[in-house]
């Protein structure tokens, strides 16, 4: 969680930007802070959101440290491999372990999360340090988190994306997305079929804070999707976008919207213990109006038949049921609360409440708007109270809201509601698109009403100025050499390729889906785009002598591979081990099949492809594509460090650092006769794959001679 402006902050219950530090402190509490707040206890006792007889247990749980929860991320087949490694290796080793005579409690799956892809554990930092086996487990978690294959995410934070029921064709808006743990879930759901490189749907992830947008980019880019765009706007006034639909301009309406609004965060007290001393009812009173404005803007942009999930990590009905009730009342029947009770079997929750009161920070209670003195009207609004009409209240079905209480399943506190749009919002039905009623005075002095568009407002841009997004044309001279070298299939979508500069040599090429291209081209003046597209090629000047100036980039390999029909070497599990543990192996180090394929290829960029064998259940059961370079006499894989370690684990190579800091990864002799570990290779690959703009301004990215790997002239592209 990131404090934006005390005491109002947005809690995503998601990942920290510093994963290593985050993992080191999991399970630990802060004993120096007194976990008491009498006003909090009085408030929630009075509201009766906790079942009778459970309040003491509720408060005891709130004072306990929150268990660490992890979610296995990535696309389905790869996620299954990580789950297999966790269950068959690390969890089995931990479940029978004793530390200081005490049996270790093994991690347990979250009962309501599909396919056992989310787990929780009470292992503390102190225990992790006392056992070499636990230390290996810890290092595995840190490394896989850094590479994006595991996400440290609070359990309740995983709920909203699941309730959206994402399908690959859905157009999705995440209104308050940073730091991005929920956004990552949305992207994964879009890519449920790994064989489809460009799903029809996309995710537009927005955040109001420019700096937090870059945390969001960091999270999203680890998934290497061409279907994500990060934008920077105030969610309560996020612009309405246009798209080309059958040659005509049309308004973009989203099929799914995640509306995880800024909140007071009192459901996060187990993790954010500052809330204990800062909590007051005024936080909710201040946020209520903003939450309604964001939710209203969301349903305005939701397609009819679409689904919006509203969520907070607050237990307060002023931020929860009151906002939903206000939204339903404004909609005049256009919205309805969906019954999501059967969507997550195993999840324990309390139904939404239909009666609540409002309390000031001084402890004064009001049961109805009529009781509020005029002097309080700026702080307390009518929408903070439940509807007074019993029939209207019953029709809202507020009991369909879901409140997760910490003591029921050892989680944080959370609120979620699922809204379905049955018809256009009433104010959109009343007036044509973009037309507002204005009064015009005629010559006869009689007033009449006509319609005219509101005056255009110039978009205010804050933060860093981003480079442009420039799409290439189909006849761009950059394509023929690439097309010939990689033998791209005729259906390769050239129109989806973009670069980030209008002038000079194009150093990196990126790809987006056709649908995101449509959004970008039609809204460049309407929105501030922070990042989009996945890098698929990078310029390698020395590569021109082999017929192509662009080498493949690992980030976009799974996007490109369905279109590449040449420069592919099929490799075995043993080949993967050789390529990822040796710096610059001779072709002869490969098994015969891969060796023979490599000998037939000219020097230059290649795809190294492992295809699973269903008969060999001990080998990875998911495809692996690696970027590589065919040198004169040797072959090299170019994979970022954390991905390198990830793939080594998948093929059964133990990778960990001992107490002296030395990495043990089963490395073998290189052609130069020295022992190179995966970290040595991966540091070089890190530099290669994370080239910045400074690389774009100074000379060649690579050399291509077979010489000492540590020199500036090596067998493949180095930075």
Residue 166, token pair as written in the block: 């994402």
* Whole-number Cα distances in Å, 165 to 185, 324, 341, 541: 11, 20, 14, 46
Cα distance between residue 14 and residue 179, in whole Å: 7
Cα distance between residue 234 and residue 425, in whole Å: 21
Band (672; pLDDT cuts 50, 70, 90):
very low
pLDDT at 305: 97
Task: Write down the residue that tokens 């931990």 correspond to.
Answer: 94
> How far is C-alpha 62 from the geometric centre of its chain's CA atoms?
27
- How many beta carbons lie within 10 A of that of residue 112, not counting itself? 18
Among 220-224, 410-414, 655-659, top mean pLDDT goes to 410-414
- In tens, the pLDDT along 27-66 reads 444 456 789 999 999 999 999 999 999 999 999 999 999 9
404, 422 in Cβ contact below 8 A?
Answer: no
Cα distance between residue 510 and residue 229, in whole Å: 13
Average pLDDT over residues 7-13: 42
- In tens, the pLDDT along 588-622 reads 999 999 999 999 999 999 999 999 998 888 898 88
pLDDT at 125: 66
Checking DSSP bridges between strand 568-571 and strand 604-610, what pairing results, if any? parallel
> Where are the alpha helices (H) located in 492-543, listed in sequence order?
514-522
Does the annotation flag 181 for ligand binding?
yes
- In tens, the pLDDT along 252-283 reads 999 999 999 999 999 999 999 999 999 999 99
Sorted by where each begins, the domain ranges of the chain are 67-152, 155-355+386-426
Cα distance between residue 173 and residue 185, in whole Å: 13
Terminal Cα distance for the chain, rounded: 36
Band (697; pLDDT cuts 50, 70, 90):
very low
Largest CA distance in the chain: 98
| Lowest mean per-residue pLDDT among 100-104, 494-498, 565-569 | 100-104
pTM for this model (two decimals): 0.85
Whether 447 has a pLDDT exceeding 80, the answer reads: no
pLDDT at 369: 96
Whether 17 has a pLDDT exceeding 50, the answer reads: no
Does the annotation flag 260 for ligand binding?
yes
- Dihedral sign from CA coordinates of 351, 355, 361, 363: negative
Any idea which residues carry the catalytic annotation? 313
| Angle value at C-alpha 22, between 19 and 28, nearest 5 degrees | 160
Whether 485 has a pLDDT exceeding 90, the answer reads: yes
Residue 116, token pair as written in the block: 């056992």
Does the annotation flag 180 for ligand binding?
yes
Q: What are phi and psi of 370, to 5 degrees?
A: -65, -20
Cα distance between residue 282 and residue 261, in whole Å: 17
Does the annotation flag 179 for ligand binding?
yes
Residue 55, token pair as written in the block: 């309040």
DSSP 3-state assignment of 233?
A: coil
Of 387, 315, 401, 320, whose CA–CA distance to 50 is shortest?
315
Going by C-beta distance under 8 Å and a sequence separation of 6 or more, which residues neighbour residue 228? Answer: 183, 187, 202, 203, 205, 220, 532
DSSP assignment of 93-121 equals HHHT-EETTEEPPPPEE-TTSGGG-EEEE
Does the annotation flag 178 for ligand binding?
yes
Share of the chain above pLDDT 90, in %: 61
Q: What's the CATH number of domain 155-355+386-426, 3.40.50.10320, 3.40.50.360, 3.40.50.150, 3.40.50.1370?
A: 3.40.50.150
| Lowest mean per-residue pLDDT among 446-460, 494-508, 608-622, 647-661 | 446-460
Of 362, 369, 361, whose CA–CA distance to 325 is shortest?
369
pLDDT at 390: 95
Does the annotation flag 177 for ligand binding?
yes
| Lowest mean per-residue pLDDT among 120-134, 179-193, 210-224 | 120-134
**Alpha-carbon dihedral 397, 399, 401, 406, rounded to 10 degrees:** 170
| Lowest mean per-residue pLDDT among 116-125, 290-299, 415-424, 456-465 | 456-465
Does the annotation flag 100 for ligand binding?
no
- In tens, the pLDDT along 127-180 reads 776 777 788 888 888 888 887 788 889 999 999 999 999 999 999 999 999 989
Residue 178, token pair as written in the block: 């940073």
Cα distance between residue 177 and residue 232, in whole Å: 10
Going by C-beta distance under 8 Å and a sequence separation of 6 or more, which residues neighbour residue 88? Answer: none
Cα distance between residue 384 and residue 401, in whole Å: 16
- Rounded mean pLDDT of the chain? 83
């Amino acid at each position: 969680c990131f404090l934006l402006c005390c005491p109002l902050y947005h809690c995503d219950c998601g990942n920290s930007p510093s994963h290593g530090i985050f993992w080191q402190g999991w399970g630990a509490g802060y004993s120096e802070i007194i976990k008491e707040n009498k006003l909090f206890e009085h408030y929630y006792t009075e509201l009766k959101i906790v079942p009778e007889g459970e309040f003491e247990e509720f408060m005891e749980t709130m004072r306990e440290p929150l268990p660490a929860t992890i979610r296995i991320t990535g696309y389905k087949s790869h996620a299954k491999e990580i789950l297999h490694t966790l269950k068959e290796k690390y969890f089995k080793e931990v479940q029978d372990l004793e530390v200081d005579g005490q049996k270790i409690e093994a991690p347990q799956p979250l009962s309501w999360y599909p396919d056992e892809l989310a787990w929780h554990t009470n292992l503390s930092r102190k225990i992790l340090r006392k056992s070499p086996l636990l230390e290996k487990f810890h290092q595995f978690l840190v490394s896989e988190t850094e590479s994006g294959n595991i996400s440290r995410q609070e359990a309740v934070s995983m709920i909203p994306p699941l309730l959206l029921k994402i399908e690959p064709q859905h157009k999705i808006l995440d209104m308050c997305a940073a730091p991005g743990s929920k956004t990552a879930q949305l992207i994964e759901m879009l890519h449920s079929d790994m064989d489809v490189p460009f799903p029809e749907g996309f995710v537009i992830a927005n955040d109001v804070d420019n700096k937090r947008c870059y945390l969001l980019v960091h999270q999203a880019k680890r998934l290497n999707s061409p279907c994500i765009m990060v934008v920077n706007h105030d969610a309560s006034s996020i612009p309405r976008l246009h798209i080309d639909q059958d040659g005509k301009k049309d308004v973009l309406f989203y099929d799914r919207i995640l509306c995880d609004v800024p909140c007071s965060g009192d459901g996060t007290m187990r993790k954010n213990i500052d809330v204990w001393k800062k909590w007051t009812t005024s936080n909710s009173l201040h946020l209520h109006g903003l939450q309604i404005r964001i939710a209203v803007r969301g349903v305005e942009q939701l397609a009819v038949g679409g689904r919006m999930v509203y969520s907070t990590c607050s237990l307060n009905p002023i931020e929860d049921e009151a906002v939903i009730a206000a939204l339903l009342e404004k909609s005049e029947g256009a919205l309805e609360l969906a019954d999501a009770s059967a969507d997550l079997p195993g999840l324990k929750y309390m139904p939404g409440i239909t009666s609540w009161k409002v309390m000031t920070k001084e402890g004064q209670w009001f049961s109805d708007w009529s009781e509020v003195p005029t002097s309080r009207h700026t702080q307390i609004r009518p929408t903070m109270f439940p509807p007074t009409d019993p029939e209207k209240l019953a029709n809202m079905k507020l009991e369909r809201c879901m409140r997760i209480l910490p003591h029921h399943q050892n989680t944080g506190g959370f609120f979620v509601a699922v809204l379905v749009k049955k018809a256009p919002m009433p104010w959109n039905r009343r007036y044509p698109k973009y037309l507002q009623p204005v009064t015009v005075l005629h010559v006869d002095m009689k007033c009449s009403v006509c319609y005219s568009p509101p005056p255009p407002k110039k978009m205010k841009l804050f933060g860093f100025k981003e480079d442009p997004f420039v799409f290439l044309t189909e006849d761009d001279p950059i394509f023929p050499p690439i097309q010939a070298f990689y033998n791209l299939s005729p259906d390769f979508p050239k129109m989806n390729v973009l670069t980030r500069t209008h002038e000079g040599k194009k150093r990196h090429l990126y790809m987006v889906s056709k649908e995101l291209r449509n959004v970008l081209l039609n809204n460049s003046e309407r929105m501030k785009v922070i990042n989009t597209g996945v890098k698929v090629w990078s310029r390698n000047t020395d590569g021109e002598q082999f017929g192509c100036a662009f080498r493949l980039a690992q980030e976009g390999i799974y996007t490109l591979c369905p279109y590449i029909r040449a420069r592919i070497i099929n490799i075995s599990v043993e080949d993967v081990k050789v390529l990822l543990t040796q710096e610059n192996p001779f072709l002869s180090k490969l098994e015969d099949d891969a060796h023979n394929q490599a000998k037939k290829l000219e020097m230059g960029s290649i795809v190294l492809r492992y295809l699973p064998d269903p008969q060999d259940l001990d080998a990875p059961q998911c495809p692996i594509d690696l970027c590589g370079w065919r040198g004169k006499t040797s072959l090299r894989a170019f994979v970022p460090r954390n991905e390198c370690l990830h793939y080594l684990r998948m093929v059964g190579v133990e990778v960990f650092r001992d107490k002296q800091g030395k990495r043990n990864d089963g490395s073998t002799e290189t052609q130069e006769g020295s022992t190179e570990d995966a970290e040595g290779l991966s540091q070089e690959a890190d530099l290669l794959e994370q080239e910045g703009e400074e690389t774009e301004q100074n000379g060649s990215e690579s050399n291509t001679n077979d010489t000492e790997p540590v020199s500036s002239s090596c067998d493949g592209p180095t930075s």
